[in-house]
Amino acid sequence: MKQATALAHPNIALVKYWGKRDTALNLPAVGSISITLDTLHTKTKVRFDETLDSDVFLLDGASNAGETRRVVDCLSLLREIAGVQTHAEVRSENSFPTGSGLASSASGFAALVVAADAALDLGLDQSRLSELARRGSGSAARSVLGGFVELHHGEWEDGADCIATSLLDAAEWPLAVTVGVISRKAKKVGSTAGMELTRETSSYYSAWVDGAEADLLAARVAIVERDFQKLADVSELSCLKMHALAMSSQPGLMYWHGATVEGIHRIRQLRRGGHAVFFTIDAGPQLKVISTPEAVATVTDALSDISGVQDVLLTGLGEGARVVD
Ligand code: DP6
231 and 140 in one domain?
no
Minimum-distance ligand 1 atom for the alpha carbon of 105 = 3
Interacting residues of 193 by C-beta distance below 8 A, sequence separation 6+: none
Task: For residues 175 and 233, give the distance between their C-alpha atoms in angstroms, rounded to a whole number.
Answer: 16
Write down which residue in 116, 144, 170 finishes a domain. 170
Chain-centroid distance, C-alpha 65: 21
39 and 71 in one domain?
yes
> Which residues are 312's β-sheet partners?
180
* Alpha-carbon dihedral angle through residues 243, 249, 251, 252, given to the nearest 10 degrees: 20
Instruction: Please state the domain count of the chain.
Output: 2
What CATH number corresponds to the domain at position 134?
3.30.230.10
- Per-residue confidence (pLDDT) for residue 101, from 0 to 100: 67
Minimum-distance ligand 1 atom for the alpha carbon of 28 = 5
- Per-residue confidence (pLDDT) for residue 188, from 0 to 100: 85
Write down which residue in 117, 141, 170 finishes a domain. 170
**Any domain includes 206:** yes
251 and 110 in one domain?
no
Three-state DSSP state, 80:
helix
CA of 45 to the centre of ligand 1 (A): 23
Write down which residue in 138, 170, 202 finishes a domain. 170
- Please indicate whether residue 17, judged by its CB atom, sits closer than 6 Å to ligand 1: yes
120 and 14 in one domain?
yes
Check if the beta carbon of residue 311 is closer than 8 Å to that of residue 175. no
202 and 157 in one domain?
no
CA of 1 to the centre of ligand 1 (A): 34
116 and 135 in one domain?
yes
What CATH number corresponds to the domain at position 228?
3.30.70.890
163 and 263 in one domain?
no
Residue-number span of the structural domain to which 185 is assigned: 176-316
CA of 194 to the centre of ligand 1 (A): 10
273 and 131 in one domain?
no
Task: For residues 31 and 315, give the distance between their C-alpha atoms in angstroms, rounded to a whole number.
Answer: 25
* Alpha-carbon dihedral angle through residues 25, 28, 31, 37, given to the nearest 10 degrees: -80
| Closest among 303, 325, 318, 308 to 106, alpha carbons compared | 318
CA of 134 to the centre of ligand 1 (A): 10
183 and 140 in one domain?
no
268 and 157 in one domain?
no
Task: For residues 299 and 266, give the distance between their C-alpha atoms in angstroms, rounded to a whole number.
Answer: 9
pLDDT tens digit at each of 325 positions of the chain: 699 999 999 999 999 999 999 999 999 999 999 999 998 999 999 999 999 999 999 999 999 888 899 999 999 999 999 999 999 999 999 998 765 667 789 999 999 999 999 999 999 999 999 999 999 999 999 999 999 999 999 999 999 999 999 999 999 999 999 999 999 887 889 999 999 999 999 999 999 999 999 999 999 999 999 999 999 999 999 999 999 999 999 999 999 999 999 999 999 999 999 999 999 999 999 999 999 999 999 999 999 999 999 999 999 999 999 999 8
| Closest among 16, 290, 320 to 170, alpha carbons compared | 320
**Any domain includes 70:** yes
CA of 139 to the centre of ligand 1 (A): 5
Minimum-distance ligand 1 atom for the alpha carbon of 242 = 1
Minimum-distance ligand 1 atom for the alpha carbon of 16 = 18
- Per-residue confidence (pLDDT) for residue 56, from 0 to 100: 96
Supply the pTM of this predicted model.
Answer: 0.97
Radius of gyration of the chain (CA): 19
Backbone torsions φ then ψ of 198, nearest 5 degrees = -60, -50
Task: For residues 111 and 6, give the distance between their C-alpha atoms in angstroms, rounded to a whole number.
Answer: 5
216 and 97 in one domain?
no
- Please indicate whether residue 255, judged by its CB atom, sits closer than 6 Å to ligand 1: no
CA of 12 to the centre of ligand 1 (A): 10
Minimum-distance ligand 1 atom for the alpha carbon of 151 = 18
**Any domain includes 325:** no
207 and 88 in one domain?
no
Q: Which helix (H) or strand (E) holds 4?
A: strand 2-8
**Any domain includes 38:** yes
